[in-house]
Structure 1
Amino acid sequence: MSESAYRVETTSRLAQWRIENLTSCTYRKSDAFKIGKWNWHLSVEKNRTLYIKLYPEISNLTRENPPVASFIIRVVSSVGDRKCLVHPEVADKQIKSNEDFVWAIEVPLTGKFIIDVEFLDLKIASPDGTGCSIWDEQFTQRKSNETALSSLGRMLSESIHTDIKINASDGTITAHRAILASRSPVFHSMFSHDLKEKEMSAINISDMSIEACRAFLNYIYGNIGNQEFLSHRLALLRAADKYDISDLKEACHESLLEDIDAKNVLERLQNASLYQMPKLKSSCMRYLVKFGKIYDIRDDFNAFLLCADRELIGEIFNEVLAAWKGF
């Protein structure tokens, strides 16, 4: 049997194991694959019933900090009409061993099928039993030191010696020229030349709501919260591109990679193409084509084809053709 028979393909939160064939009585265990902080395995055992297990690899990390996982697991048969069996959503389940999650499937499966695991969240259990999402933790670690930046945050939130107005689509907020100019070459140019923004001491950002604009400024001042960032990622991405703030664009890019799903993949693919984000574009393509999710959102995809960029549509169909040839 080839090595590829044990390999699990992954994105940041999705894992797929393609099973070419199972005999009437057999056992198979996948190679290790990494999601979050842990290496994982899938296993299948078939007798009269098909048993599927998901569990972390035994290690010091697993013993000391076992994952608390929320996920959806599916089995998709690639024969005939693409039959899909879906296990009820698993929420906040601590998994230490290969006996902690077992799915028994009575429906007979023959030929090729795919085991698809979509991780919704991963936590490390805390003493009080609540746990903290590792993906929230990763964002927190990327933020600049909150203590050092707290004074800048107060300057913005309390309007301390502000000297520039920013007019959003539905409100106005005040800020500081020096800070804006130090973070954006576009703002720097506005205030360095005799442009209307310098003369009027105002900037019009009519394509952003006041809430999105406040999130934009909070990022610039190092004072943005995790939920605020997540809620306004696309608006922040547009602003980062418009005002040439490369670190904000990269932060949006990395964050948008982390939670691609069927509801947002087409919008993210369009934005990845528009704002030239190759990693996001590649991940969206893989999710749609290599992982077969294009079949699950046919109506949305057909609507997408009516308005998407022609060049992007061509790239998608080239990926689909390449996947068919390789299957």
Structure 2
Amino acid sequence: MVANEREAWARMSCISCKDHYTPTNAGTCRECYEEASETEEELKKEIEELKAKISFLKTWAPQPVLDRFSDVLLQCSDGSTIRAHKAVLISKSPVFKAMLENDMEESKSGTIKIVDVSYEVLRSFIHHLYTADALFDEQMAYELLVVAEKYQVKHLKAVCEKFITSKVNNDNAVMSFAFAHQHNAKHLMEAALSLIIDNMHMLTARDEYRELVDKDPRLVVEIYEAYLAKQVNTAAKDS
């Protein structure tokens, strides 16, 4: 190495260890470069391991593992069952907590009968309790929201409500409004009512409207009250 090259090398700084630091000439020494490369490989390996763990959680525990270590049996109306762990159910749902920690039939038998949902909906619900993941289509979202409300799983209910709200349109607004009222879904209710009011000229021609008049006329009154309130507010602004 010639003298000029040695001088230049001596003046170079390492970003990591700051050897021979000068403000105008910075780099990375060979030792720190190799160390950084090893650290990068370790991080990549750790990330891959974490991904594998997440993948495992998302697919839920294998049935043999559940059969061996689970302590609660969830039973659907058709007799199909899903095994789960009491600790998970208690930690995620106040309703399950009350069932399993108090002197109730479910606590004594270790079996919880959930007769108003299908196996697929129940499995998706339990999957969420274990992984905080929510995979569903539009129909499943409605059914999961009902189960989430019943067992007071607030996060799942909020996720389902947000998804359903994003799908509200003029064709399903009346049905969505009635559903939201029944299951205390405030954001869905507001979105559906707003769309109904914006299309009031089409309301009475809809089959859903006539069904609502027969089944729950108080909701029809609420729709018209909201519509009239909007008209009054609009007139006040224009005057």
TM category (shorter chain) comes to 0.5 to 0.7
Deviations 1:27-61 (A, max 9, x none): xxxxxxxxxxxxxxxxxxxxxxxxxxxxxxxxxxx
Match of residue 173 from structure 1: 82
Instruction: Name the amino acid aligned to 1:198.
Output: S
RMSD: 2.5
Give how far 1:168 is off. 1.0
Match of residue 271 from structure 1: 179
Alignment of 1:296-311 (within 5 A): 298-308=206-216, 310-311=217-218
Give how far 1:241 is off. 1.1
Alignment of 1:74-89 (within 5 A): none
Match of residue 190 from structure 2: 282
Match of residue 317 from structure 1: 224
Give how far 1:268 is off. 1.5
Match of residue 141 from structure 1: none
Matched, 1:232 2:140: yes
Match of residue 118 from structure 2: 209
Match of residue 221 from structure 1: 130
Secondary structure of 1:174's match? strand
CA gap of 1:150–1:179, structure 2 versus 1, over 3 A, is: farther
1:253 touches 1:277 (CA, 8 Å); kept in 2? yes
Give how far 1:190 is off. 1.6
Separation (CA, whole Å) in 1 of partners of 2:156 and 2:51: 17
Give how far 1:262 is off. 3.3
Deviations 1:67-104 (A, max 9, x none): xxxxxxxxxxxxxxxxxxxxxxxxxxxxxxxxxxxxxx
Separation (CA, whole Å) in 1 of partners of 2:51 and 2:161: 22
CA gap of 1:269–1:302, structure 2 versus 1, over 3 A, is: same
Matched, 1:150 2:59: no
1:260 touches 1:284 (CA, 8 Å); kept in 2? yes
Give how far 1:149 is off. 4.0
2:60 touches 2:131 (CA, 8 Å); kept in 1? no
Instruction: Name the amino acid aligned to 1:319.
Output: A
Instruction: Name the amino acid aligned to 1:261.
Output: N
- List alignment gaps of at least 5 residues for structure 2: 1-49
Structure 1 or 2: more strand by fraction: 1
Separation (CA, whole Å) in 1 of partners of 2:219 and 2:170: 18
Separation (CA, whole Å) in 1 of partners of 2:196 and 2:203: 8
Matched, 1:197 2:102: no
Give how far 1:274 is off. 1.7
Aligned residues: 181
Separation (CA, whole Å) in 2 of partners of 1:232 and 1:149: 23
> After alignment, is 294-303 or 230-239 more displaced?
294-303
Instruction: Name the amino acid aligned to 1:285.
Output: L
CA gap of 1:271–1:159, structure 2 versus 1, over 3 A, is: farther
When Rg is computed on C-alpha atoms for both structures, the one with the higher figure is: 2
Instruction: Name the amino acid aligned to 2:228.
Output: L
Matched, 1:242 2:147: no
Deviations 1:282-314 (A, max 9, x none): 111111112447448523212221112x43222
- List alignment gaps of at least 5 residues for structure 1: 1-144
Structure 1 or 2: more helix by fraction: 2
Separation (CA, whole Å) in 1 of partners of 2:156 and 2:60: 20
Match of residue 184 from structure 1: 93
Q: Normalising by the residue count of structure 2, what TM-score does the alignment of the two structures yield?
A: 0.66
2:204 touches 2:210 (CA, 8 Å); kept in 1? no
Instruction: Name the amino acid aligned to 1:177.
Output: K
Separation (CA, whole Å) in 1 of partners of 2:101 and 2:134: 31
Separation (CA, whole Å) in 2 of partners of 1:304 and 1:287: 16
Give how far 1:194 is off. 2.0
CA gap of 1:182–1:297, structure 2 versus 1, over 3 A, is: farther
Q: Normalising by the residue count of structure 1, what TM-score does the alignment of the two structures yield?
A: 0.50
2:77 touches 2:117 (CA, 8 Å); kept in 1? yes
% identical aligned pairs: 25
Separation (CA, whole Å) in 2 of partners of 1:297 and 1:181: 48
